Amino acid sequence: MKLKRTTVALAVFALFSNIHTVAALAEVTEKVLAPVKTTPDREADVQARTELGKLTEYTPISGTVVDQEEIEHLQLVNNLLELGKRVPGISMVRNMRIPDGGKQYTENRIDGMRAINVNTSVFDEVDMANIERIDVITGPASALYGSGALGGTISLYTRQPPRELQAKLSQELGSWGFQRTQAYAGASTDDGRFGFVLTGSNMENDGWRKNTAAANQNAAAENKNGQAIKVFGRLSDSTKLTLGYDQLHYDYRLPGALTKSKWEQDWRQVELGTFGQSIDDYQTTSLRLQQLVGERGEFSLAYGRIADDSTGYGAGGSGGSNNVICDDTSALAAPLAAGTTVKCRAVNNNSSSYTNTLKAGRTVTESTAALYRQEFDLAKSTLYAGVDMFKINSESATYKNAYTALLGQSGFWAQGSLYSAGSRTETTETTPFVHFEFSPVDKLRLHLGERFGSIDYMVDDRTSANKDVSMTRRGNVLRSGVTYDLAKGHIVWANWGETFNPQSTGSMLDSAVYGTPGRTVGAVLSPERGVTKELGFRGVFQSLALRYDVTYYNSESKGFNTTRDCSAAEQVTLNGGATCKVYEAAGQLAANGLESMFSWAATDWLDLGATYTNARAYFTDYVANGVDYAGKSYMAMPRQRLNLRVGFKPAPGWLVELESDHISRYYIENTNTLGSYQRPDLFNLRASYRSKEWSFWLQALNLTDQHYATRVSLTTIAGQKVEGVSAGQGNSGTYTPLTLRVGISYKF
């Protein structure tokens, strides 16, 4: 099975509609619009025009579709690390194309609804057993996508009720205490008017990384379990209602950064004071109504709500300071009576700078989307008009431990006085949009649209300073594209799109009280604005069974947040004469590169695949702390990435794939003067057998047992800037030696 890189058809799929629900609606009425396809049939001719209303790879968008067959082949545990090797555009720092995890350059969607607001953390919010398909879209795409998606969009689609009774149970075991159980079951009535699907999973992973603290031997342990239900009903031949509810518990430890010198000596150990833990409980509810209007119109209305109760967080590289890890969300209620017991576990780092605090937070994300689609005979045109509404409400608080730090390290925790009241932030985004596409001549299709964004920000500062602040930012973005048939099986496409990213709420708050030397003064800043241009070629040489998809892109964005020293006059007016810094929307960046994927069915028993990226992200105008970064590359941005795959099919149902992954040397910090890192090439072996009922698989990851780092960067450890080897969430987010996994599943 090969990854299919395609233009992920814009309208209904990632935003407001869903391929399965639309297709299913067609079964009971002749009035329904033709189903939208997000990926071409395996045998389909790229040149072939589809029926009116079907959007195929003629849409001028760059992206990759990872379907259910590919998901089952990969048996993903860490989606980003494993997909990032095979899919162009996923950076090493949880963002698309631009490796800056704190920026909102990536839009996240679940079943078409907006999800988490920063980087690529959407994978944390969905149980892997419930994912049907993953769409990775690079670049801003069309007016039907978010206004700030400079890097791209990741859309997860959850399982839909099957047409007939289906059930599946799988079990996996692996190195370092890994085990995972997944199951799903679903069915629809014979007339197709009602259906349901249930999914559930549990993953336990002790992890390979270890530390010497008795209370936290497994420094990379993780547990992830989830349950979900989705039901639909056809209220009439032209009306469909779908309801969903998901729960996900994700408890993971963060091994933290390790100094490179210690990593070279023993890459399994953990640096004291850098590890931690986080516990998230997600609850997701969703509703979708689809209504046909006449012969060629369709209206859809969708609502989604994700509540995340997060408890505790470790140091994660802060140089010895750790928070206490708590399992009780009552820590959010402030203030509790002194001495109230909160169920917590010790995180012992043997550090004198132990903070001896506990922390809890809650984030609620609500997304509403309405879309009307109308088709016309004239020039085979289609009009889309709708509105996106997105709201995030987040709050957190930190409390002192009522017991001493020594007792705390022994496991005694109770909520004491408020350590930091924190703040509550609220972001409300309302964006009407319109998109129109048409074909003035048979081989040409044009796309044009605009988004009309309005974003309200509010910060409720709960500290004694009570520095509440709010702002509203408005910005329109244009998106356009064109596709043209070059020859049978080959097309060229182009895309031009604007982006609009208001500054984060953190920039509006002061870092300390008035008069404190070195204080950073909050400011309400102008939004960051960008433009991306893309040119692509895709097609298939039918006689060779060779498919290709190549995209060149160039992005520029101006106005990201920076800080500078206050002038003498500003010190007097802004900080009582003391030294200070002030925020400015003065930074500028650029990103350009070539993204490509190739697949060749060489014979009936041999498949070849390749993913190659040659890309750069760098600063064009950026000065901070007296350092001019103009022309400097972003850290953790390898210029070249090459992933090669050879698949053998020795017998029916069997697939044995050898994967190699190469990345070029990259800088470990943004001045490009303090070092670089060259990761060794990695190899993975995956073998599987699949029949109608049974499936077996065996994976050997890091086949040649390489000593490698997931990422190397300049990191603060024990209060000093050092060359550090970073680690992510749990065992699946960090480096490991040769790792084996074996699994079996049965489909009832």
pLDDT tens column, 454-469 = 999 888 877 666 777 7
CATH code of the domain containing 362:
2.40.170.20
Mean pLDDT over residues 440-450, rounded? 92
Residue 91 has a pLDDT of 85
Return the pLDDT at 464: 67
Tokens matching residue 705: 């047992």
Q: Is 217 exposed, middle or buried, given 0-12, 13-18 or 19+ CB atoms closer than 10 A? A: middle
User: What is the rounded CA–CA span in Å between residue 358 and residue 313?
Assistant: 8
In this prediction, residue 351 has a pLDDT band, given cuts at 50, 70 and 90, of very low
What per-residue confidence (pLDDT) applies to 350?
37
Would you state the pLDDT for residue 32? 27
At 136-195, the pLDDT tens digits run: 889 898 888 889 999 998 888 999 999 999 999 999 999 999 999 999 999 999 999 999
Mean pLDDT, residues 493-510: 87
What is the tens place of the pLDDT at every residue in 671-717? 999 999 999 999 999 999 999 999 999 999 999 999 999 999 988 77
**615 pLDDT above the threshold of 80:** yes
| For residue 212, pLDDT beyond 80 | no
**Which residue segment(s) compose the domain that 366 sits in?**
4-747
Distance of CA 286 to the CA centre of its chain: 19
Q: What is the gyration radius of the CA atoms in the chain, in angstroms?
A: 26
**Share of residues in the chain with pLDDT > 90 (%):** 51
- State mean pLDDT over 85-103: 84
| Pure H helices in 507-606 | 568-575
Cα separation, 262 vs 643, whole angstroms: 30
Instruction: Report yes or no: 356 and 324 within 8 Å, Cβ to Cβ.
Output: yes
What lies within 8 Å, CB to CB, of 310 at 6+ separation is 278, 279, 280, 281, 360, 361, 362, 363, 396
Q: Which residues, other chains included, contact 299 with Cβ-Cβ below 8 Å and sequence gap of 6+?
A: 290, 291, 293, 370, 371, 372, 373
Q: Taking residues 436-444, what's their average pLDDT?
A: 91
Lowest mean pLDDT segment, chosen from 214-223, 524-533, 618-627, 638-647? 214-223
Interacting residues of 111 by C-beta distance below 8 A, sequence separation 6+: 18, 156, 157, 158, 244, 286, 288, 302, 304
Say if residue 236's pLDDT is above 90.
yes
Confidence check: pLDDT of 472 > 70 = yes
Amino acid at 18: N
Mean pLDDT to the nearest integer, 432-441: 94
Which of the four pLDDT bands, split at 50, 70 and 90, describes residue 219? confident
Q: How far is CA 190 from CA 165, 239, 242, in A?
A: 10, 18, 18
The predicted model gives 381-393 an average pLDDT of 94
pLDDT of residue 411: 44
Mean pLDDT of 37-50: 30
Q: What's the pLDDT at 154?
A: 87
Mean pLDDT score across all residues of the chain: 82
**Pick the residue with more confidence: 341 or 652?**
652
Least confidently predicted of 238-242, 326-330, 526-530? 326-330
Q: For residue 319, what are its two tokens?
A: 């140089």
Mean pLDDT throughout 655-665? Answer: 97
Q: Specify the pLDDT at position 273.
A: 60
So what's the pLDDT on residue 117? 62
Locate tokens 């299709």: which residue? Answer: 445
- Say if CB 323 and CB 359 are below 8 A apart: yes
Residue with tokens 């698989």: 697
Q: Pick from 40-54, 166-180, 320-334 the range whose average pLDDT is largest.
A: 166-180
- Is the pLDDT at 347 greater than 50? The verdict is no
Q: Which of 128, 133, 125, 126 is nearest to 160 (CA)?
A: 133
Q: What is the pLDDT of residues 297-313, one digit of tens each?
A: 999 999 999 999 887 65
- Tally Cβ neighbours within 10 Å of residue 667: 22
Largest CA distance in the chain: 79
Q: Are 8 and 536 in contact (CB under 8 A)?
A: no
Whether the per-residue pLDDT at 386 is higher than 50: the answer is yes
How far is residue 206's CA from residue 548's CA, in Å, rounded to a whole number?
A: 41
pLDDT of the residue at 120: 60
User: Is 322's pLDDT higher than 80?
Assistant: no
The predicted-structure confidence for 2-39, as pLDDT tens digits, reads as follows 455 443 333 333 333 333 333 333 333 322 222 222 23
Considering its fold, how many domains does the chain have in total? 1
Q: Please, which residues have CB within 8 angstroms of residue 406's CB and are 6 or more apart in sequence?
A: none
Instruction: Report the pLDDT value the prediction gives residue 499, as an integer from 0 to 100.
Output: 95
pLDDT, greater one: 549 or 397: 549
